[in-house]
Amino acid sequence: MSSSFLLGGSMVIWYVYPLWHVVSFRLIGEKHVRELRKYFRVYEIDELAFPHINPYVKAFVFLHPFFFVMSKFGRQVERKLTRFKALIGVDVADSDRISSLAVSMTNYATAMIVPSRFSREAYIRSGVRVPVHVVPHGLDKEWYTKPKDKPSFFRDLAEKKKKHSLKYLLFFLCHSDFRKGADLVIAFYSILRKERKDVVLVVKTMSPDGTFQDIVRSMGGVVVSGWLTEKQKMELYDICDMYLLFSRGGGFEQCGLEALAREEVVLAPRGGSWEEYMPGWGLVDSKPCEYVLKDNPIHNGRGVEVIVEKAVDKAHAILDNLDEYKGRVREHKRFLAEKFTWERVGEKLRDIVYMYSR
């Protein structure tokens, strides 16, 4: 690999992603841009501006998310394909298949990047013919190494836990209630809280108000709302004991990885993308569900649904031996810290640029 290629040189990277609002694609995109800048000149372009830009250099383009832009502006992008060195689509598979419409869009890409083998298999199963590369999400190293600090932002929550000898069950819900399994979390908690008095559900939402939030409060749960910094998010994971990853689908599910990195036990259904970073003992029997995102034009396949009664049984076994299982998480974290870091992600992205720039 020549020095003119790396660290700037003549290579220009356009990283196209949503700068106009804060969504998960933006958060992941920011990490990709940061890592790619270790090797190349990278220009950030908003997804809504990209279709209207006339290229004057033969840029290497990452389009993230791919399907949103192509479904809105496919014709404009198609007319400019010959003016790109490569067009790499970055997206996910939220279910076990993608639609024929989505497959047809991938034909305009040089290659696709997805965050899990689960997503790659869904693309190939659905008929995608361009190369599909797996580049998982990652974490900054401090997620694995930073000691647990004395709670400050969530001090009251921590003091309540200590005073009443409680065990906290954590669940993040920022969007996609059905896909994230909000109803399954409620069903699970309604059973578990009747069988033991030492558990409290803590949910993180964007808004303090809503039907889900009202139900959680009515059951004695706690609602944490609003935007959290990385430090605040770590503190919340550190206070809690078990993360409920009850999603029916998704291309990776970052919250599960974050929880494990902070040595929190995670429960998740068998059959999803998260199996690629989950310890086997944290997986719960599941059953198929007919859809993950109903009537979605892209993600039209099936998902998995945790069997709530099985999850309750496993939760009892873990909560009754919590120190033992947290020790198991610490052991598993060694594997995660080697494989799931943004630095490793950057190396994979660098290699993909090199692969399609020859």
Answer whether residue 3 is part of any domain: no
How far apart, in whole angstroms, are the C-alpha atoms of residue 143 and residue 136? 16
Answer whether residue 323 is part of any domain: yes
Burial of 341 (0-12, 13-18, 19+ CB in 10 A): buried
Tell me: do 63 and 211 sit in the same domain: no
Tell me: do 226 and 111 sit in the same domain: no
Answer whether residue 331 is part of any domain: yes
Tell me: do 192 and 282 sit in the same domain: yes
Segment 171-211, tens digit of pLDDT = 999 888 999 999 999 999 999 999 999 999 999 999 999 99
Tell me: do 259 and 311 sit in the same domain: yes
How sure is the predictor about 20, in pLDDT bands with cuts at 50, 70 and 90? confident
Q: Say what percent of the chain tops pLDDT 70.
A: 97
Segment 239-266, tens digit of pLDDT = 999 999 999 999 999 999 999 999 999 9
* pLDDT the model gives residue 8: 46
The structural domain count of the chain equals 2
Q: What is the mean pLDDT of residues 64-80?
A: 94
How sure is the predictor about 10, in pLDDT bands with cuts at 50, 70 and 90? low
Tell me: do 191 and 111 sit in the same domain: no
Q: Which domain holds residue 130?
A: 12-138+342-355
Segment 90-121, tens digit of pLDDT = 999 999 999 999 999 999 999 999 999 999 99
Answer whether residue 2 is part of any domain: no
The answer to whether the beta carbons of residues 226 and 295 sit under 8 Å apart is: no
Give 311's contacts (C-beta < 8 A, 6+ positions apart). 188, 246, 267, 284
Q: What is the pTM of this model?
A: 0.94
Residue 310: give its domain's CATH number. Answer: 3.40.50.2000
Tell me: do 346 and 335 sit in the same domain: no
Answer whether residue 40 is part of any domain: yes
Please state whether 272 falls in left (phi above 0), alpha (psi between -120 and 50) or beta: beta
